């Protein structure tokens, strides 16, 4: 039985930074946010999204190597993290919105797993049709997430969010394809760009939230 303390801590930090008084965008005040407070929010969100790429990577490698215990642990943590990311917006936009975002982000996690299964099919040579279907599922999910986020926050345009998600998905795909081939050099090289890109994604979300609710970051 795994322990989710670090996941819950990351989520609670994000929630604590964003919680007090958040209701709807119409109550935001036109006050400049304190950069230090925005920086704290960025670090909290970076923690959640870094855990996402870490646990996906752990799942992919352990699955490729056939280590069932490690695979089960990584999948359990990965799913818990996806739910923590979804739930972290509850104090801002309400539980119904958090439930929706949780469904969408868990869908992203499951779609990444779907691509992994397709890439690992046929003795790790991959199944082209299944990979194409998995990419289509990832694209559809990305569009749904971008539509949801832009609808909640006018400072995060749908096209911008979708572009960040497309780049994020591409990093997942490159890492999975490298592991399928046991190209460990390319897999290792993929980590730094992957983590930097997901930080760009989480930072954009933090900046959008701070701009929408600047009075909460004083």
Per residue in 82-106, pLDDT tens? Answer: 999 999 898 888 999 999 999 999 9
Question: How many Cβ atoms from other residues are within 10 Å of residue 69's Cβ?
Answer: 8
| Residue 178: per-residue pLDDT | 98
Of 157, 59, 169, nearest to 117 (Cα)? Answer: 59
Q: Which two tokens stand for residue 82?
A: 């996806």
Task: Tell me the average pLDDT of the chain.
Answer: 90
Checking if the pLDDT of 151 tops 60, the result is yes
| Residue 172: per-residue pLDDT | 98
pTM above 0.85, yes or no: yes
The alpha carbons of the chain give a radius of gyration, in whole angstroms, of 18
| Residue 217: per-residue pLDDT | 86
Gap between the Cα atoms of 151 and 133, Å rounded: 27
């Amino acid at each position: 039985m795994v322990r989710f303390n670090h996941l819950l801590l990351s989520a609670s930090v994000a929630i604590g930074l964003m919680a007090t008084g958040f209701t709807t965008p119409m109550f935001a005040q036109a006050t400049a946010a304190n950069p230090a407070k925005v920086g704290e929010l960025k670090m909290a969100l970076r923690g959640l999204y870094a855990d996402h790429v870490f646990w996906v990577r752990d799942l992919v490698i352990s699955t490729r190597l056939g280590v069932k215990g490690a695979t089960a642990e990584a999948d359990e943590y990965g799913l818990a993290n996806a739910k923590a990311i979804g739930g972290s917006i509850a104090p801002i936009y309400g539980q119904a919105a958090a439930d929706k975002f949780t469904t969408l982000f868990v869908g992203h996690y499951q779609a990444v797993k779907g691509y992994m299964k397709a890439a690992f099919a046929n003795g790790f040579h991959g199944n082209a049709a299944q990979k194409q279907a998995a990419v289509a599922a990832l694209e559809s999910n990305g569009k749904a997430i971008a539509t949801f986020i832009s609808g909640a926050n006018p400072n995060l345009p749908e096209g911008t969010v979708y572009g960040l998600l497309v780049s994020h998905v591409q990093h997942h795909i490159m890492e999975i394809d490298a592991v399928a081939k046991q190209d460990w050099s390319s897999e290792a090289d993929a980590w730094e760009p992957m983590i930097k890109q997901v930080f760009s994604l989480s930072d954009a979300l933090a900046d959008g939230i701070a701009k929408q609710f600047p009075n909460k970051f004083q």
